[in-house]
Copies of this chain bind each other. A is one copy, B any other.
């Protein structure tokens, strides 16, 4: 709620939250959508700018506040009728929250969720010509930073059920923050996957003219309904412009930028395909699983006592003892270079602590904190020492994928030998034999 002084000016100008207004200060003028304040008597006026970011202006510095246009944003996700298109592939959608399926209510400042297929079609009417969108499931609606393994398990169950009851593919809309962790989790949890499961997102909210929602949903619909790729994939902008999308393998993709639309990049593997808004799908990586008639299974066991930590100069190895005491079963360490951490005769020597942890039953893995590239612990003596005490160097597996995989593996076995063997077995494209040099900074 704005302060009395501000409210008086707004009332005089007949301005309500949601309206586009112009504020003049001695230095500058600002345009944007007036956002309501949940706090009491706020003296800062908040404008949502076209960049998507909010701007706070101290009302005492304003010279003039004018209304530019009435807010149209107050109607949240109008729904339109869906005409069943039996000639198009039947695709289902699972909405989980995130920027892509939310819209800020300018009346309350709260988030409204996209709930019905008809609402989705009002955002991207193109979808009606691409797929027969039958159902939107909402197992939960949360920001993706609040997700954990329980949510991955629910998603795997939903996707399995939809695929086994007639859907030709599934689209999952999801917040961007932890989308690549979810993509990796579903890659391991969905067994005998025989149809496309396509995760997509939005970096710029759906109510903004610059939103990336429409292109991402359009390409995801082509990938889910029309592609032959029976894998868990992440589909989104290839470039900053609305040109085309990349489909990346769920285990070989990472959010690499806080805010740009083409934030999800392939890591240590080429994208599976390019998808154009015209529907054209250019396969890049021929080495992918194809559609079959197999029944999909959800194999979702996950050991929550799994950790991901990062090594850095001066890192005290005692942190490992903490995890041992707390009953953890496995740890992925983001190691430096080819898979290293301090192993010399200093107080930071990680060798004795790691040796004890492994002896007490933990599975300890190393992944590359450089993100790109492949570990090779036997090039230098230091890495060899870690290898010799039983640290499992995970080749070219992403640290985030490695964490998810380790939790999934430890959900199935606590036997160290078996866990090691499974960590070094390729289940869903997470390990490659040779890395194409074009993949660096793709």
Cα–Cα distance between A441 and B441 once the two chains are bound (Å):
5
At the interface, yes or no: A123 with Cβ under 8 Å from chain B? no
Interface residues of A in 193-214 (CB under 8 A from B): none
Considering the complex, which residues of chain A in the window 50-67 have a beta carbon less than 8 Å from any beta carbon of chain B? 52-54
CB distance from A37 to the nearest CB of B (A): 12
- A142 is an interface residue with CB less than 8 A from chain B: yes
Q: Which of A165-173, A218-226, A309-317 is the contact stretch? A: A309-317
In whole angstroms, what is the CA distance A257 to B309 when docked? 19
A53 touches B376 (CB 8 A): yes
Answer yes or no: A437 CB below 8 A from chain B CBs: yes
Min distance, Cβ A392 to any Cβ of chain B, angstroms: 16
Given known A177-B340, A342-B148, A379-B52, contact A315–B308 (CB-CB < 8 A): yes
Q: When each residue 347-363 of chain A gets 1 if its CB lies under 8 Å from chain B and 0 otherwise, what string results?
A: 01000000000000000
Instruction: State whether A336 touches B370 (Cβ < 8 A).
Output: no
A30 beta carbon closer than 8 Å to chain B: no
* Interface hit among A227-235, A243-251, A318-326: A318-326
B373 pairs with A257, CB closer than 8 A: yes
CB atoms of B259 and A146 under 8 A apart: no
Query: Closest Cβ of chain B: how far from A410's Cβ, in Å?
Result: 12
Interface size on A, residues (CB 8 A): 77
Q: Given the interface contacts A381-B111, A382-B145, does A178 sit within 8 Å of B336 by beta carbon?
A: yes
Cα A254 to Cα B255 in complex, Å, equals 17
Residue with the highest number of chain B CB atoms closer than 10 Å, among A145, A149, A178, A255:
A145
Chain A residues 234-292 with CB under 8 Å of chain B are 240, 254-260, 263, 265
Is A430 interfacial (CB 8 A cutoff)?
Answer: no
The verdict on A419 contacting chain B, using a C-beta distance below 8 Å, is no
Contact status of A256 and B441, CB under 8 A, knowing A146-B382, A346-B146, A379-B52:
yes
Query: Which of A53, A312, A376: most chain B Cβ within 10 A?
Result: A312
List, in ascending order, chain B residues with CB within 8 A of A311's CB: 145
Is A106 an interface position by the 8 A CB rule?
Answer: no
Question: Do B308 and A308 have beta carbons less than 8 Å apart?
Answer: no
Contact of A334 among B240, B257, B310, B322 (CB under 8 A): B310
CA distance A147 to B147 in the complex (A): 36
CA distance in complex: A373, B53 (Å) = 14
Q: Does A427 contact B (CB under 8 A)?
A: no
Contact status A341-B145, CB under 8 Å: yes
Prevailing SS type, chain A contact patch: loop
Q: What is the bound-complex CA distance between A265 and B338, given in angstroms?
A: 17
Please, which residues of chain B bring their CB within 8 A of the CB of A260?
Answer: 373, 437, 440
A54's closest neighbor in chain B, by CB?
A: B378
Residue A176 at the chain B interface, CB threshold 8 Å: yes
Q: Decide if B441 touches A258 in the complex (CB within 8 Å).
A: no
Is A407 part of the binding interface, using a Cβ–Cβ cutoff of 8 Å?
yes
- Nearest to A151 among chain B residues (CB) is B313
B322–A145 touching, CB < 8 Å? no
Give the shortest distance, in Å, between A103 (CB) and chain B (any CB): 13
Partner of A342, one of B146, B265, B343: B146
Which B residue's beta carbon lies closest to that of A437? B240
Cβ contacts under 8 Å, A255 to chain B: 336-337, 370
State which residues 368-388 of A face B: CB under 8 Å: 368, 370-376, 378-382
| A residues adjacent to B (C-beta < 8 A) | 52-54, 111, 142-149, 151-152, 175-178, 181-182, 240, 254-260, 263, 265, 304, 306-315, 318-319, 322, 326, 334, 336-344, 346, 348, 368, 370-376, 378-382, 400, 403, 407, 437, 440-442
Further contacts, 16 of them, CB under 8 A, given A146-B343, A255-B336, A258-B372: A54-B378, A142-B344, A144-B336, A144-B337, A148-B314, A148-B342, A148-B348, A149-B313, A177-B340, A257-B370, A258-B337, A258-B368, A260-B373, A319-B322, A371-B371, A441-B442
